A and B are shown apart, each in its own frame.
Chain A
Amino acid sequence: MKLTLVSAAILASSVVPRLGLAQDKIIKVDGSSTVYPITEAVAEDFQGENRGVKVTVGISGTGGGFKKFVRAELDVADASRPITKAEIEECKKNGVEYIELPVAFDALTVVINKQNTWAKNMTVAELKKLWEPEAQGKVTKWNQINPAWPDAEIQLYGAGADSGTFEYFTEAINGKSKASRGDYTPSEDDNVLVKGVEGSKNALGYFGMAYYLAHQDKLTAVNVSWEKNKATKDAVAPTTTNVNNGTYAPLSRPLFIYVNKKSAETRPEVKKFVDFYLANARTLTTEVKYVPLPDAAYETIKSRWAKLQTGTVFGGEAAIGLKIEEILTREAK
């Protein structure tokens, strides 16, 4: 049985690609679910204007997207964090060169129930106390974080472990990527998190800003203060202005697309797609409720793209609380 199946599959596969001689031009994009709404909007409008070019956009998560990108299976990878050292190594091994293009900002938003009156402002230290791995099973009540807060059980909601959101939040708050307490309700589906926090007075959760903006009437966003914040020591609200001027730190993060250099050079439709992406990033980003980069930043990025400048400015490290200007003035390593 198994043998029949395998041989049938082999037969089918060897015949299929040859019969499919003339294919339309397909641009393959995959990766972060956070970047997905932006890329989807770009792909939709791009295909509206360019008949005959097809764009597929997948949601495999940033890590999953890079796994395919380093094998040269993708033209563009969506990423909610910079490429890591291991992924850079894989790229080198497979001869894949990439162009790193920041396209927008996302602000991770910590949310509480509308009836919660005490935790509207929190410090990064307080959030760490609540979310660090050592808190597991120990920090379970609000007054354990701050004695002035109620003696009530906290319900925690957060991102699932495969998401870039989880990686960034743990890195920014706990100081180590993927280090988090495990006794909370994780979900890749942010609607679950919204419902959870909405339904319980003592709940706290975190997710991307777009979800908060869609549910502003049901949830309160926590203002976050950070002792390493260069701009201000006050608690800062997650708003477009504060993200853009760099004061909402450390929870705002740049979102990227990584373009395969070979695709960009050899396939005009890929070049055209990325041109279109950068030209329309500002309007489309706003439309899907993310924060666009400053105008000057897009100009710098466009010139980086025009020169097909490869490499990453992060050197495989995570970058926390950086302003976009700092990112753009750095030299690629």
Chain B
Amino acid sequence: MLSTEQVIRRGQMRDRVFSILGVALTILCLGVLAILLVNLCREGLARIDWQFLTTFPSRRAAKAGIFSAWVGSALVMLVTGLTAIPLGVAAGVYLEEYGRRNWFTSLIEINIANLAGVPSIIYGLMALGLLIYKWEDWFGDKTDSIAGLGQSIITGGLTLAFLILPIVIVATREALRAIPQHMREAAYALGASRWQVVKDHLLPYSTGGISTGVIIALSRAIGETAPLVTIGALTYIAFLPPAPFSHTESGQMVGPFAWLSSPFTVLPIQMFNWVSRPSSDDNNFAVNAAAAGIILMLVTLTMNTVAIVIRARVRKKVKW
């Protein structure tokens, strides 16, 4: 028989072992990230300057920049955000607040959970078939004005929107579920309709949780390469998409949405391109790749930080 003291000591011992293990693992994870960052910075930090951000890619590594790549990334993210957020939030609200529990909604739920785990390249293949090739079968002659979307910003944006949609839906549902049931009941008791409850109470309360989820989803999307390579975005692009209402060489006015159908490249693809070409000391593309990597990491880390800040703020405001 162990004495009470021994039992307590053994318990404390286990606690300590576990916390040491936990700290060690955390340090290990952070260490990997730190090594990666230090490595990237050592190689590429000196390369980042205004010129790097405002010039187009070039065969001469020292003259090359990421202008078309970061503009492409930003525009693709804009399309992704504008499609995935409204659709995802609406779907989440429906499933959580409106949908009755039956076989159909369970089926949808299982599907969404599965979709969140599908490798990203599969989404690329789907977009290739659905957005690029399938149109021709649906609408016939490809000389028609409704041809496939081609390798355009809208294709890229929609592909990544498919990719992060499940994440947005799940985040929305979790944020809604965190709101205590009595908030809803109180609102109903005062005679609010379902839509009023959603609009005036549930959505405002869950904004923090939803935006955290959305930002994390977007920061995943911005680093995606595989699905975009699949739809053929691996290209040398040394121009920007046309700005709305600007004028072409021939003096025609550009429509407000013309940029959507412009070819594009994005940061991770530009990096991939640079990493995979012969790189010598006098023409060092590896340095460019590292510099682009730093920018991409900065963007991702900034987005994640914003997500954390929003979450912390909302937590403070919660009154129930």
Contacts and interface: CB of A to CB of B under 8 A. Distances in A.
Contact of A22 (B234, B238, B252): B252
B236 interface: yes
Given A13-B149, A43-B238, A58-B234, A191 B91 contact: no
Contacts of B39: none
A215 interface: yes
Contacts of B207: none
A61 to B, nearest CB: 10
Nearest to B112: A1
B87 interface: yes
A43 B239 CA distance: 11
Contact of A9 (B58, B131, B248): B131
Nearest to B242: A24
Nearest to A189: B276
User: Among B158, B242, B254, B277, which residue has the most Cβ atoms of chain A within 10 A?
Assistant: B277
Contacts of A53: 249
A191 B278 contact: yes
A262 to B, nearest CB: 12
A26 interface: yes
A207 B42 CA distance: 30
Interface string B264-305: 000000000101111110010000000000000000000000
Interface in B75-95: 83, 87, 91
A25 B108 CA distance: 45
Interface string A1-37: 1001110110011111111111111101010000011
B154 interface: yes
A215 B108 CA distance: 54
Interface residues of A, number: 55
B183 interface: no
Interface in A202-217: 210-211, 213-215
User: Among B275, B278, B279, which residue has the most Cβ atoms of chain A within 10 A?
Assistant: B278
B309 interface: no
Contacts of A189: 275-276
Contacts of A190: 276, 278
B40 interface: no
27 contacts: A1-B91, A5-B87, A5-B162, A6-B130, A13-B146, A13-B154, A16-B149, A16-B257, A17-B147, A18-B145, A20-B254, A22-B253, A23-B242, A23-B262, A24-B248, A24-B249, A26-B263, A41-B59, A52-B249, A54-B239, A56-B235, A57-B236, A58-B232, A59-B234, A188-B276, A190-B276, A214-B283
Interface of B: 58-59, 83, 87, 91, 108, 130-131, 135, 142, 145-147, 149-151, 154, 158, 162, 165, 232, 234-239, 242, 248-250, 252-263, 273, 275-280, 283
Interface of A: 1, 4-6, 8-9, 12-26, 28, 30, 36-37, 39-41, 43-44, 47, 51-60, 71, 73, 188-191, 210-211, 213-215, 287-289
